[in-house]
Structure 1
Amino acid sequence: MNEQILTRARLVLDDEVVWGTLVIRNGRIREIDLAPCRLSTAIDCEGDYLLPGLVELHTDNAEKYFQPRPKVAWPRRQAALAHDSQMAASGITTVFDALSIGDVDEQSMRHDSLKAMHDAIVGIQQEGLARVDHRIHLRCEVSHPDTLSNFRALADSPLLGLVSLMDHAPGQRQFVSLEAYRAYYQGKYELSDADMEIYLERQLANSARYSNTYRRTISAEARTLGLALASHDDATLEHVAESHEYGMRIAEFPTTREAAEASHRNGMAVMMGAPNVVRGGSHSGNIAATEMIGLGVLDILSSDYYPAALLDAVFKSAQIEQGYSLPRAVASAARQPAQAVGLTDRGRLAQGLRADLLRVQTVDDHPILKRAWCAGRQVH
């Protein structure tokens, strides 16, 4: 029997924070006691917070390790393990690694490296090399010609649990303003004015040809497979109505207040980026996550492009004016993302659940991760 006792901790439960003791046995939470434990083998947490391990549904962080520079491919197992280590060091004990199907950049390595990234992540998980629990999230760019065939090629992945549908074509969703679209992509890809016009016309044509059909078809096939579905960058009530009709459980990064409120009202869990909370606003000029916290419609936090932001955003959400309580803030990065994808064995401090745990100290109101456990095994 493998037993660990953590005592004199501030336990972040569903609705309150209490002083007490938590017992891990064989990878599960076996006891929660409000009294201190005096056994010499108990670990004294010295008043630090003890909270459930974070559940990340949307991070493209792995891509940075597989392709650390443009046109540079890193050995895939080493890349996957480096990414895995960063997840553990960020307090993320369950991660849905987002793999992009289709891209707005025809020179991107995403298409060629898709299967290699997938196989590497599955490999470290199945071989017992991973520190944390990895799942697969397929991000489907529905305006790309090859998206449907590539989705079907990976639809039987043993780790697949989440599918999101997105369309980054100009003039809608994230880029309602064509001028903002031009400025972003012309700068990103260093295009001449003439090349930018060709690029813009191609993206509009692909969206008109493929987007509606692929969105409808992939949604139906994902539902048949029992996969959780997420919309992406919904901006209007019409977008939300379509997402609800197609069975989306999650609304990733709605760009307007009306879309966020409508998604929440329709029972979709509204996800916003933790960097948005930490920075105090959206880097692309869309609605601020803190405004959605004030409205009570932010359900899930995601680290998006910066893994360490997730734990920081949890504590900042509990510190801002009209913010969430600490238990509710923790739930937005643990219990609620887990529930949205059907994982009922984690995301809370409760007897019988997986011992995915974080020990967190605060210094000047900033959270410092001191220890992390995944299924009872210390991984950081």
Structure 2
Amino acid sequence: MTEQTTLEQPRAWSLPRSPRDYVLGHVRAVLPNRILDDARIVVRDGRIVEVGESRVGTRADVDGGGLFCLPGLVDVHSDGLERERLPRPGAELPWMFSMMSFEGKLRAAGVTTVFHGASFSDRQAAKDGRSVDSALAMCQAVADWNERQADGRLVDHRVLHRLDVRSGLGLAALQQHLEAMVASGEIGAERPAVISHEDHTPGIGQYADRTFYERYVAGMSGISQEEARDRVDVLLAERESNLPVREESMNWLAGQSATGRVRIFGHDPESAAEIADLARRGGDVAEFPTTVEAAKEARARGMSVVMGGPNILRGGSHSGNVSGRELAGLGLVTALASDYLPSSLLGAVFTLAAGTMSLPEAASLVTSGPATAVGLSDRGALEPGQRADLVLVGLDHDCPVVRSVLRAH
């Protein structure tokens, strides 16, 4: 008789977590308006209760060794999970593995709250894997991951619902998905959903110069420039016929904003007129404005203005639009998002702090600024009452390196 080996189900386990009560000492605390050298931060029940100078004769539970201490980074627009799951065209990885793998990159970047971009779209010209099915699968993967990690979540994972306003399938799917979230109590006035509406029709917005989009299609699909040009011609014809869908999408978004259950981002606005239209429909945030004009109008109306970390690092837009550094220098940026590269957030902070603005001002662009954009008032600053999401950062060859992350539970 052959002996059979049975595999036992793995036992439930929890990830290591930060203590709920501790004292962090000897750090350079990056406060909203200054840097406090040799600071002491007292945490009780997962909240900051005191931030002040270290006291002679007292002992800290954690010695920060002179590292910078920042609030945990808040990333309001990340497409990294999408890329983690599909590192090459056609090479799809399991969702749970992708979540686990990408969470490690977020932690290494100091991100403690992230909004994953789920694209409710049916555009196929770029062959980038975006579809209604993929968007819904991502939303479910985030929900499943959060449920599995409920007792020891290292990162607060949320969803940025990206709506292609010319996609009838995308609109219908998002409407149904949002209704289910409302019915389950998952979203409401205290925890609004975040929706970014976008129109990636070549010739407007991010791809005002369609040649940049043709290069993107050619690179993503591995085809010639001539073939990419033909695909974009077809895409343009299809999208021009979808103007009624766009109007339906925008009217629905305005209605949702009025309920208080949804915060609306306008993606790639290029003019003051677009910002005015966004405001009329209850929009809260200008996301990646492509011109100085759009950014100025957004700030004049009290909107948050989000730019991309990679744009700051490069010193310019990859698609020929306005430079994030230029907008930051004009005081028009209130938040940065990683877009596709989590490590770009801290890199952008220290790049801006090298001459454009002070370190506290730059740090606010990845902490309190994005928290405000998505309506989270409990995080983003080293102040009493805030969540004790803390990141310790050192410099290596003038580049920021995350040494430790302490996240409240």
When the two structures are superposed, what TM-score results if normalisation uses the length of structure 2? 0.86
Deviation for aligned residue 1:294:
1.2
2-structure distance, mates of 1:195, 1:50: 49
Q: Corresponding residue for 1:344? A: 377
Q: Corresponding residue for 1:102? A: 121
Change (3 A) 1:257 1:355: same
Aligned length: 373
Change (3 A) 1:11 1:180: closer
Say if 2:306 and 2:335, in contact at 8 Å, map to a contact too: yes
Choose the corresponding residue for 1:205, options 226, 233, 241: 241
1-structure distance, mates of 2:255, 2:159: 19
1:55-84 per-residue CA deviation (whole Å, 9 max, x = no partner) reads 010011111122222223322211112222
Say if 1:11 and 1:17, in contact at 8 Å, map to a contact too: yes
The percentage of aligned residue pairs carrying the same residue is 33
Q: Corresponding residue for 1:298? A: 333
1:81-123 per-residue CA deviation (whole Å, 9 max, x = no partner) reads 2222221111010111111100432655332222221111111
Choose the corresponding residue for 1:256, options 279, 291, 298: 291
Segments of structure 2 that go 5 or more residues without pairing to the other structure are: 1-18
Deviation for aligned residue 1:365:
2.8
Q: Corresponding residue for 1:117? A: 138
Say if 1:104 and 1:168, in contact at 8 Å, map to a contact too: no
Choose the corresponding residue for 2:61, options 17, 21, 42: 42
Q: Corresponding residue for 2:319? A: 284
2-structure distance, mates of 1:314, 1:38: 34
Q: Corresponding residue for 2:16? A: none
Deviation for aligned residue 1:307:
0.6
Deviation for aligned residue 1:344:
0.9
Change (3 A) 1:181 1:97: closer
Q: Which moved more, 1:298-307 or 1:99-108?
A: 99-108
RMSD (CA atoms): 2.0
Q: Corresponding residue for 1:53? A: 72
- How do 1:309-328 and structure 2 match up within 5 A? 309-320=344-355, 323-328=356-361
Change (3 A) 1:223 1:81: farther
1-structure distance, mates of 2:230, 2:314: 35
Say if 1:7 and 1:36, in contact at 8 Å, map to a contact too: no
1-structure distance, mates of 2:213, 2:135: 26
Say if 1:256 and 1:286, in contact at 8 Å, map to a contact too: yes
Q: Corresponding residue for 2:50? A: 31
2-structure distance, mates of 1:359, 1:147: 40
Q: Corresponding residue for 2:282? A: 247
Say if 2:122 and 2:170, in contact at 8 Å, map to a contact too: no
1:6-58 per-residue CA deviation (whole Å, 9 max, x = no partner) reads 11111111111112101222211122221246445532222111110110100
Secondary structure, in 3 states, of the residue corresponding to 1:350?
coil
When the two structures are superposed, what TM-score results if normalisation uses the length of structure 1? 0.92
Change (3 A) 1:185 1:262: same
1-structure distance, mates of 2:333, 2:122: 28
Change (3 A) 1:274 1:370: same
Deviation for aligned residue 1:238:
1.2
- How do 1:54-203 and structure 2 match up within 5 A? 54-105=73-124, 107-111=127-131, 112-128=133-149, 130-155=153-178, 156-157=180-181, 158=186, 161-189=193-221, 190=223, 192=227, 193-203=229-239
Choose the corresponding residue for 2:367, options 334, 343, 353: 334
1-structure distance, mates of 2:318, 2:379: 32
2-structure distance, mates of 1:139, 1:279: 25
Deviation for aligned residue 1:194:
4.1
Say if 2:24 and 2:60, in contact at 8 Å, map to a contact too: no
Structure with the greater alpha carbon radius of gyration:
2
